[in-house]
Structure 1
Amino acid sequence: MSTGKIQFAEQDGTFVLKFVGEVRLTLCSTLDATIEKIFTALNFSAIVIDLTETSSVDSTTLGLMAKLSILSRQKVGLLPTVVTTNADITRLLQSMGFDQVFNIIDTPLPCPDCLEDLPPQDQSEEVVRAKVLEAHRILMGLNDSNREAFHDLVSALERS
């Protein structure tokens, strides 16, 4: 069982996702559903992903974060912001090419008091596999290094 959680708030046109602890595959359905919810909003001014209390994120979570950025640019022309104060997380984001698809800052923003834990969503193994595959395909599309790193995993998921 994952020890992480995702919190969410919407305040004055800004959507805030806060990842706490280890954010892994077990939260991918919750994160994906929240991404869909964000883009049903008619108008908003910013998307912030707060990683200041994140100890680790897996590649599925990174892929869904990239999906959020791509949708944000396509649908509303906004580049989301990632806040990270952990040097390891910052290096990971940069190695994945996230500096191309996010504004990455290291200054914590005032966090809304209204953050609420997102409830976990139980999904079938097939639905989770499809989300993992989508997330890794998105990561592969960011740069050649990711394409090489995740090629075998994506091929294996496509065969299963």
Structure 2
Amino acid sequence: MTQQEQILFACIDNCCYFKLSGELRYTNATGMDDLVERLFSRQLQCKQVVVDLNAVSFMDSTYIGLLASLARYCQQQQLPRPTLFSTHTEVNELLFGLCLDQAFDIVQKPTKQTPDMAGISAQPYSELQQGQMILRAHEALIALHDNNLAAFAPVVELLKQQLK
């Protein structure tokens, strides 16, 4: 992972903090996917989730789908809605356009403080594992809101065919 894209993470007093920066694309999403999977498998104990996107300059649909997966985790565990900080206009347009405001409390302000956080490295995914990650992320976007179905159903169908 270069300085251009970075994932920082901390779990303090059962609050999971994610700080993402740079250009976030499916090609560098394996570290984030691994974190989300560890949440779902309960390897991490989170009672609240906070995501700081203030330093993000671009996000693709896979990364937004990973955020949707975080929101789904919170819903399934009956946790409070996750909080998402974002001040970047283009990123916010994507978040609202893909209905993430239905699942997150989006705060369009800088974060006040950041705890000490550890950098998360990319995971060595095979081509199959990367394809499965992209599929899960897009399925999460579709599950988030019906408006996303038309945009992502063709992608999901193509990925399912390719992963057979």
Is this a same-fold pair by TM over 0.5? yes
Pair 1:159–1:37, CA change in 2 (3 A): closer
Partner of 1:22, secondary structure, is strand
Q: Does 1:104 align with 2:101?
A: no
Flag structure 2 segments of 5+ consecutive residues without an equivalent. none
Partner of 1:128, secondary structure, is helix
- State how 1:8-157 maps to structure 2 within 5 Å: 8-38=9-39, 39-42=42-45, 44-157=46-159
2: CA distance, partners of 1:36 / 1:76 = 17
Output one character per residue of 1:61-108: Cα deviation in whole Å (capped at 9) or x when no partner. Answer: 111110111111111422101100111111110110111000000122
Over aligned residue pairs, what C-alpha RMSD do you find?
Answer: 1.7
2: CA distance, partners of 1:114 / 1:91 = 29
Counterpart of 1:63, as a letter, is G
Counterpart of 1:55, as a letter, is S
- How far the C-alpha of 1:24 sits from its partner, in A, is 1.1
Flag structure 1 segments of 5+ consecutive residues without an equivalent. none
1: CA distance, partners of 2:114 / 2:92 = 23
2: CA distance, partners of 1:88 / 1:7 = 22
Partner of 2:55, secondary structure, is strand
Output one character per residue of 1:14-63: Cα deviation in whole Å (capped at 9) or x when no partner. Answer: 21111110011123221121123344334x44211100000011101111
2: CA distance, partners of 1:63 / 1:5 = 17
Deviates more, 1:139-148 or 1:94-103: 139-148
Pair 1:87–1:143, CA change in 2 (3 A): same
Identity of matched residues, %: 30
Number of equivalent positions: 159
Counterpart of 1:84, as a letter, is S
